[in-house]
Structure 1
Amino acid sequence: MVCALGAAVCFGVASVLQAVAARAAAEPGGGARSAVDARLLGRALREWRYVAGLGLDGVGFALELVALRSLPIYAVGAALAASLAVTAVAAARLLDTRLSPREWGAVAAVCGGLALLGMASGSEGAGADHGGTALRWGTLATALAVLAAGTAAGRLPERSRAAALGLGAGLGFGVVEVAVRVIDGMTPVALLTNPAVYGLLVGGGAAFLLLTSALQRGSVTAATAGMVIGETVGPALVGVLALGDRTRHGWAPVAVAGFALAVVGALALARFGEVAPPGEDAEKKTDEATPSRL
């Protein structure tokens, strides 16, 4: 659990660093028309803050691997969701944004709900359960579907684009979480013949591409809220239904309540987390403390 919480800190700070770099790499005047663009990722890689964010992501992923091999997926997801609070605090400092009391309440709801989920987790993980062949192929098929759906989401209206792309990124990261659990053999032959390995690579690559596109324009907290939902709910269900993850005895209702609270809080952030995009005049920027409502 310490490793999972450490990964949350790494991912939360990395998200904001990557948001700053993605905005700096955006083509002038192209924000409103932007979609999922692999060229954006190439431009972002020339920004030192994006590279620093990738370094933190690498450290976080290593810590996540340790946690996933020891705990149920939903427990790791609950700990990683704390990255939303880290992102919100870091965004307030690095992106010069302000979160309203309602937004802070939504952050608290997400963290509180996922804390309940963490408390409801079993004391030990599912151990050696690596799923079956269908699940291994399913990770690869899901990763390809996430990439295709995320590309389509890049054409959505600006106000919903960040949350949708963030959700796609979360689903990609969720594929990575499941793939880590279903990879059993670590020999070269076992890795090369396991479709889950390719699902991990495609899912992780798609997640980074979609997240970079989401952070190019719009609210970093809204994009991260969508990402938290995608990388928490789906993988947790797979862990329970296919990999034998369980809650502590008698704590299933608490786990369900935690999921519901986390989803409601994250959706509230996705709706109310709009901040003034880069390039707007100073007068609008000073009004960030009162985000626009739909």
Structure 2
Amino acid sequence: MILYLSFAIVASLLMSLGLLMMKSRSAHLPMAAGADTIGAIITWIRDPMWIGGLGVQTAGWAFYLIAVTRAPVSMVAVMGQGGIALFVTASVVILGERASPREWVGIGAIVLGMLMLTLSLNGGAIEGKFEPATLLTFSALLSLAALVPMTVARMNASGAAAAILSGVAFGLGALFTKAMTFEFAGGHAALIALQIAANPYVYCMIAANIAGIVLLQNSFHSARAIIAMPLSGALSNIVPILGGMIVFGERLPAGATPAVMRVGAFALTIAAGALLAGSREHAPVDPVMTGALSRAKT
């Protein structure tokens, strides 16, 4: 299982790098909203840096898909929190955003949570029976709940609402990916192409991830990367953790010590994501545009 959790770490790093590339272009690209949604997305696709970031994210998703075929989705989600730490650090170093002491505490908490998770691996992980009806109900209720922040004007203006909804969309995409692997595991290799075409979870996964990308890119226009990504990332990992237990019947290790460490890792990484997302200091900056203007003047 350690090998597949290593794939999850690689997936997290690639996805974070891809998002960083996409964020760097947020001030140069239009928002996807209303009647201009399709036109804006086409503009994004035509931008070399943005489409390159999407390609890196796709590579990360491929590693994620491999990881969830053999590891519980809740554990893979926790390992994915490391990508938040990388993204926050890169936002400070590359994008020039400022991190508060509160945000650095959150990064440290994420690293500690990953260490606790690693030490709990010997306790094993048990998956129960997958219930499709439970997945449908869970997805519907969670989607409705995620739309509530969109009705709050302040959260819309700050980009927080779009970041929250994007995190839920990515999280549901992770659950649909896991459900997809369950379906493929029961079929014949010779019919894999037909299985993909006929599997509804494939289309749900694609739709959820596309929605997540569009919403997160929109949030980048109003929120600092150091805020938008942790807010989206924390939710994108909380959803699979909860869904893994509710939908796939994932259980804690039998031993008391690894079970406590596993719960502690979940709680710590969730709290760290909330801690990073809680700051609203400093307006969004665009060092990429500033640097371009400076070079143009010289």
Percent of aligned pairs with the same amino acid: 21
Gaps of 5+ in 1: 28-33, 283-294
Give the alignment partner of residue 172 of structure 1, picking from 166, 169, 174: 169
Map of 1:96 onto structure 2: 96
- C-alpha distance after superposition, 1:83-114 (max 9, x if no partner): 11111122123312222333211221233234
Q: Secondary structure at the match of 1:259?
A: helix
Map of 1:52 onto structure 2: 52
In structure 1, how many angstroms separate the alpha carbons of the residues matched to 2:35 and 2:267? 30
Q: Secondary structure at the match of 1:98?
A: coil
1:7 equivalent in alignment to 2:11: yes
Q: Structure 1 residues 253, 239: closer, same or farther in 2, change over 3 A?
A: same
In structure 2, how many angstroms separate the alpha carbons of the residues matched to 1:91 and 1:136? 35
Map of 2:20 onto structure 1: 16
Q: 1:75-224 counterparts in 2 under 5 A?
A: 75-121=75-121, 126=126, 131-135=130-134, 137-138=136-137, 141=140, 145=144, 149=147, 153=150, 156-157=153-154, 161-183=158-180, 184-185=183-184, 187-224=192-229
* Contact 2:117/2:262, CA 8 A, preserved across alignment: yes
Q: Normalising by the residue count of structure 2, what TM-score does the alignment of the two structures yield?
A: 0.78
Q: Secondary structure at the match of 1:157?
A: helix
Q: Structure 1 residues 139, 267: closer, same or farther in 2, change over 3 A?
A: closer
Deviation at 1:141, TM superposition (A): 4.0
1:261 equivalent in alignment to 2:259: no
* Structure with greater helix percent: 2
Gaps of 5+ in 2: 291-298
* Contact 2:26/2:221, CA 8 A, preserved across alignment: yes
- C-alpha distance after superposition, 1:223-254 (max 9, x if no partner): 11112221112211221233232333223333
In structure 2, how many angstroms separate the alpha carbons of the residues matched to 1:9 and 1:208? 16
* Contact 1:166/1:226, CA 8 A, preserved across alignment: yes
In structure 2, how many angstroms separate the alpha carbons of the residues matched to 1:173 and 1:80? 12
In structure 2, how many angstroms separate the alpha carbons of the residues matched to 1:206 and 1:274? 27
Aligned-CA RMSD value: 3.3
- C-alpha distance after superposition, 1:242-268 (max 9, x if no partner): 323233322333333323322332222
Q: Normalising by the residue count of structure 1, what TM-score does the alignment of the two structures yield?
A: 0.79
More divergent stretch after superposition (1-10 vs 164-173): 164-173
1:231 equivalent in alignment to 2:236: yes
Amino acid at match of 1:85: A
Aligned length: 273
* Contact 1:144/1:202, CA 8 A, preserved across alignment: no
Give the alignment partner of residue 243 of structure 1, picking from 218, 242, 248: 248
- C-alpha distance after superposition, 1:38-77 (max 9, x if no partner): 2443332232221111011011000000001111112111
* Contact 1:40/1:213, CA 8 A, preserved across alignment: no
